[in-house]
Amino acid sequence: MQFIPVRLPFIASAFLFCMGMPIQSPAQTTHAAAFYVPPSPLPVREHGKVIRSRRLTDAAALPSAARNLLVMYHSTSEDGKDVAVTGTIAIPAGDPPPGGWPVTTWTHGTTGIAPLCAPSLDTPNGPEHQFLGMHEVVMDDYVKRGYVVVATDYEGLGPPGLHPFLQGASEAHGALDIIRAAREIDPRIGARYVAIGHSQGGQADLFTAALGPAYVPELKLLGNVALAPASHIAATLQAMMQASTPSYALGYAMYVLESFASNHPGIELNKILTKQALDHLPETLHACITATVSKGYWATAIPKNQFLPGADLTSVLKVAAENEPNELKIGVPTLVAQGTADDTVMPAWTDNVVGSLCKSGTPLEYIVQHGATHETVLTSSTAQMKAWVDARFEGKTTESNCSALPSAAAPGK
């Protein structure tokens, strides 16, 4: 059972190691050594304020943009602390329309939990370039059509730290504060925005839509798009505790445990994982997701053998429940797309999520993409997504099919 994107066909080159630290490409090394190290101590500023920015020219730069910027800005961590987060800003060519350029804030799928896995660090030979390149093509179409495109790395990716994986508030804060940062850099950027995300980013997108109106009240959220949003975190963890054959979902389960334990003191991994598992956890911080799930210890380990007999996950499952999108209250138009051939985010799980959101009053349209996989749902939904986003900025009324939801798990019914 899986819930997060796996790109097994896109195996990247392994990182080399020297003195226990990953060796990056020259461009990545330059960025990490200079731009990505935040001031110490971090100056006290309001969330969304710019710490520094510079021109961006690497693979994360969108080719149709008149200006691509790398930005570090203040944001708010899961536990309410001020934290430095990085991301990218792509500004279209030409003059802005009245009210400023429209904005899309993008929340990316899983790349890893280590700083070196930040999407803004992407290069043509980067560890997750195949996956990130898919997103960049779609994002570039928006900037080509006159949208400002902002994309957070998320807390813990880029600057030193550990990414709060699948922790919705942290992800959402990063996606919202980068809009504030972009408008500080260029006041011609408008206050109206739509959030868009895929997989982990789909979960982050839904939290962005739920938290945005209160967190950045000066901005106007018009809608959000969640493509194959991650969910059912507890189900994946529990499945790994019973699985007797290697599974790429084990790497993601370790991400969840490391992330939750990093900022929830009640979660003690030495009471959940075996010594062997604990000894291999540092490997997840020396590579990104493709390498983690396809080579090395976590690619071949028997999942159930990583857990202590009778391990109590009560505290972990409590945090998991707090980060499920099912219970969110979203008051803006929402578009969710799910592929029927997705074996990463299970179709039945997304069916469940949209059913719950509809019951809570979300004005939601659910699109089932027949035959689409976890990756291809991004491209198969492009045309509908573009029309839907354009309609939000044009002030058109939205449609909801909550009264007769389709099913991705049983598309023939």
CATH label of the domain that carries residue 203: 3.40.50.1820
Residue 17 identity (one-letter amino acid): F
pLDDT at 63 (0 to 100) = 97
Of 62, 185, 197, which Cα lies nearest the Cα of 120? 62
What whole-number distance in Å separates Cα of residue 409 and Cα of residue 403? 18
The H or E element containing residue 90 is strand 82-91
Asked if residue 34 and residue 111 are part of one domain, the reply reads yes
Residue 206 lies in a domain: yes
Number of domains in the chain: 2
Which two tokens mark 369?
């993409």
Handedness of CA 362, 365, 370, 371 (dihedral sign): negative
Neighbours of 322 (CB within 10 A): 15
pLDDT at 33 (0 to 100) = 63
Residue 3 lies in a domain: no
Asked if residue 344 and residue 251 are part of one domain, the reply reads no
Residue 279 lies in a domain: yes
- In this predicted structure, the answer to whether residue 23 has a pLDDT above a threshold of 80 is no
> What is the residue whose two structure tokens read 């730069």?
61
Cβ atoms of residues 128 and 288 within 8 Å:
yes
Least confident of 15-29, 111-125, 229-243, 278-292: 15-29
Complete edge-to-edge strand list for the sheet that includes strand 364-369: 50-55, 67-76, 82-91, 148-152, 101-107, 189-198, 220-227, 334-339, 364-369
* Beta-strand relationship, 67-76 and 50-55: antiparallel
Q: Is residue 244 packed enough to be buried (19+ CB in 10 Å), middle (13-18) or exposed (0-12)? A: exposed
Listed in order, strand segments (DSSP E) in 138-255 are: 148-152, 189-198, 220-227
Would you state the torsion angle of the CA atoms of residues 392, 394, 395, 398, taken in this order, to the nearest 10 degrees? -40
pLDDT at 380 (0 to 100) = 95
**Which residues is 73 bridged to in the sheet?**
50, 85
Domain final position from 304, 321, 338: 321
What whole-number distance in Å separates Cα of residue 239 and Cα of residue 133? 31
SS3 of residue 180 by DSSP: helix
pLDDT, tens digit, 9 for 90 and up, residues 173-207:
999 999 999 999 999 999 999 999 999 999 999 99
Q: Is residue 404 packed enough to be buried (19+ CB in 10 Å), middle (13-18) or exposed (0-12)? A: exposed
Asked if residue 126 and residue 89 are part of one domain, the reply reads yes
Residue 104 lies in a domain: yes
- In this predicted structure, the answer to whether residue 169 has a pLDDT above a threshold of 60 is yes
Which two tokens mark 250?
């084990």
Handedness of CA 387, 393, 399, 400 (dihedral sign): positive
Tell me the average pLDDT across 205-232.
98
Which two tokens mark 145?
């059509």
pTM: 0.92
Residue 153 lies in a domain: yes
Asked if residue 171 and residue 31 are part of one domain, the reply reads yes
Where in the sequence is the domain holding 122, given as residue range(s)?
16-232+329-404
